[in-house]
A and B are shown apart, each in its own frame.
Chain A
Amino acid sequence: MATFRLNINNTAQEVEVAEGTSLLWVLREHLGLTGTKYGCGIAQCGACTIHVDNRPMRACMLQVDNVSDGQKIRTIEGLSVNGTHTVQKAWIEAQAPQCGYCQSGQIMQAVALLEENPNPSTEEIKTYMNGILCRCGTYMRVIKAIELAANTQST
Chain B
Amino acid sequence: MKNKAQTDPVEGMSRRKFLKSSGGVALFIGASGMLPHLISCKDSNALKKQLQKHPITAWVQITEDGEITIYNPAAEMGQGSMTSLPLVFAEEMDADWSKVKVEFSPQETDIYGSEGWAPGSKLMFTVGSRTTKSYYPVMRKAGAQARYVLLSSAAAHWNTPIEELRTEDSFVIHENSNRKISYGDLVPYLSMPETLPDLSESDFKDQKDFRLVGREIPRTEIPSKVDGSAQFAIDLRLPQMVYGVLERGKLNAATPTLTNEDEILAMEGVLKLVPFDYAIGVVAKTLEEALAAKKSLQIDWSEAQASGFNSQDIYPEYKQIADSRKKGDAIVELGDVGQAMKKAAKVYEVDFKNDYVYHAQMEPLNAVIQVAEDKKSADVWVGSQQGPDTKLGVPDLVGVPPEQVNVHLQYLGGGFGRRSMNDFVNECAILAKEMAPLPVKLIWTREDDVSYGTFRPLSLQRLKACTDAQGNISGFSHCVVGDGGRLVTSGARNDHYDIPNQLVEWRETSHGIRLKHWRSVGHGPNKFAIESMLDEIALDQSIDPVDLRRKLMAKSPRALATLEKAAEISGWGSPVAEGRAKGVAFVEHGSMGTGICEISVDRNTGNIKVHKFWIALDAGVVVQPDNVKAQMEGGIIMGMSSVLKEQITIVDGRVQQSNFHDYNLLRFQDVPESIETAIIPSTEIPEGVGETATPMVAGAIANAFLKLTGKRLRHLPFTPERVLEVLNA
Where the two chains meet, the residues of A that have a C-beta atom closer than 8 Å to any C-beta of B are 17-18, 21-22, 25, 28-30, 32-42, 44-45, 47, 75-77, 79-80, 82-83, 88, 91-92, 95-104, 107, 125-127, 129-143
Measured as residues with beta carbon below 8 angstroms from the partner, the interface class of chain B is 35 or more
Give the distance to chain A from B387, nearest Cβ to Cβ, in Å: 19
Cβ-neighbour of A126 out of B222, B660, B668 (below 8 A): B668
Query: Are A137 and B638 touching (Cβ within 8 A)?
Result: yes
Q: A29-B237, A38-B364, A42-B661 are in contact. Are A100 and B411 (CB under 8 A)?
A: yes
Query: Are A79 and B227 touching (Cβ within 8 A)?
Result: yes
Subset of 10 A-B contacts with CB under 8 Å: A40-B660, A42-B661, A77-B228, A95-B218, A95-B222, A133-B667, A136-B634, A137-B666, A138-B634, A139-B671
| Bound-state Cα–Cα, A82 to B219, Å | 17
Query: Does any Cβ of A come within 8 Å of B361's Cβ?
Result: yes
| Bound-state Cα–Cα, A79 to B223, Å | 14
Q: A135-B360, A140-B675 are in contact. Are A92 and B218 (CB under 8 A)?
A: yes
Closest to B234 in A: A38
List residues 219-267 of chain B with CB under 8 A from any CB of chain A.
219, 221-232, 234-235, 237, 243
How many Cβ-Cβ contacts under 8 Å join chain A to chain B? 184
Give chain B residues whose Cβ lies under 8 Å from the Cβ of A18: 268, 286, 288-289, 292
Query: Are A92 and B660 touching (Cβ within 8 A)?
Result: no
List residues 619-641 of chain B with CB under 8 A from any CB of chain A.
626-627, 630, 633-638, 641
Give the distance to chain A from B240, nearest Cβ to Cβ, in Å: 13
Where the two chains meet, the residues of B that have a C-beta atom closer than 8 Å to any C-beta of A are 77-80, 218-219, 221-232, 234-235, 237, 243, 268, 286-289, 292, 360-364, 411-416, 443, 445-447, 626-627, 630, 633-638, 641, 659-661, 665-669, 671-672, 674-675
Beyond A92-B226, A95-B219: 8 further Cβ-contacts under 8 Å? A34-B228, A39-B363, A77-B228, A83-B223, A98-B77, A101-B413, A136-B634, A139-B637
Give chain A residues whose Cβ lies under 8 Å from the Cβ of B292: 18
Give the distance to chain B from A96, nearest Cβ to Cβ, in Å: 8
Q: Which of B228, B361, B413, B660 has the most CB of A within 10 A?
A: B228
Q: A17-B288, A95-B218, A99-B77 are in contact. Are A135 and B416 (CB under 8 A)?
A: yes
| Bound-state Cα–Cα, A130 to B446, Å | 19
Query: Are A37 and B637 touching (Cβ within 8 A)?
Result: no
| Bound-state Cα–Cα, A75 to B229, Å | 12
Query: Are A137 and B226 touching (Cβ within 8 A)?
Result: no
Give chain A residues whose Cβ lies under 8 Å from the Cβ of B671: 126, 139-140, 143
Give the distance to chain A from B88, nearest Cβ to Cβ, in Å: 19
| Bound-state Cα–Cα, A83 to B225, Å | 9
| Bound-state Cα–Cα, A155 to B142, Å | 47
| Bound-state Cα–Cα, A76 to B228, Å | 6
| Bound-state Cα–Cα, A83 to B633, Å | 25
Query: Are B669 and A127 touching (Cβ within 8 A)?
Result: yes
Closest to A93 in B: B218
Give the distance to chain B from A114, nearest Cβ to Cβ, in Å: 15
The 9 closest A-B pairs by CB, nearest first: A35-B228, A137-B637, A98-B78, A101-B413, A100-B225, A99-B78, A137-B634, A76-B228, A83-B227
| Bound-state Cα–Cα, A60 to B322, Å | 48
Query: Are B218 and A100 touching (Cβ within 8 A)?
Result: no
| Bound-state Cα–Cα, A134 to B77, Å | 13
Q: A29-B237, A39-B364, A140-B633 are in contact. Are A97 and B78 (CB under 8 A)?
A: yes
Query: Are B636 and A137 touching (Cβ within 8 A)?
Result: yes
Cβ-neighbour of A141 out of B287, B360, B363, B630 (below 8 A): B630
